[in-house]
Structure 1
Amino acid sequence: MAYQPKSYRKFLAGTVSAAVVASAIAPVASASFTDVAGSVHADDIATLVAKGYIKGYADGTFKPDKSLTRGEAAIIFSRILKDAGVTEKGAGFPDVPASNAELAEAVAIVQAAGIMTGDEKGNFNPNANITREQMAKVVAEAFKLTKPADYTTKVTDLDKAGSWAREYIQTLEANGVTKNTEFMPKQNVTRGQFASFVVRAMNVGVTAANITGVTVVDLNTLEVTFNGELKEVKKEDFAIQGVEIESVSIKAAAAAEAKTTVVVIKTKTALEEGKSYSVSYKGQTTDKTKVSQSRLCGEHFFGSLRVLSITS
Structure 2
Amino acid sequence: MIPAEFDYIAPDTLEDAISALKGGGEDAKLLAGGHSLLPLMKLRLAAPSLLVDLRKVPGLDGAARENGGWRIGAMTRHAALERNGELGVLARAAGTIADPQVRNRGTIGGSLAHGDPASDLPAVLLIADGSVTVRGSGGERSIAAGDLFQDYLETSIAPDEVLTEVRVADLGEYGFGYQKFNRRSEDWAMVAVCAVVRMENGSAADVRVGLTNMGSTPLRATAVEEALRGQPLNADSIAQAAEQAAEGTDPPADLNASAEYKAHLARVLCKRALEEAAGLS
Band the TM-score falls in, shorter-chain normalisation: under 0.3
Computing the radius of gyration from Cα coordinates, the structure with the larger value is 1
TM-score of the aligned structures, taking structure 1 as reference length? 0.24
TM-score of the aligned structures, taking structure 2 as reference length? 0.26
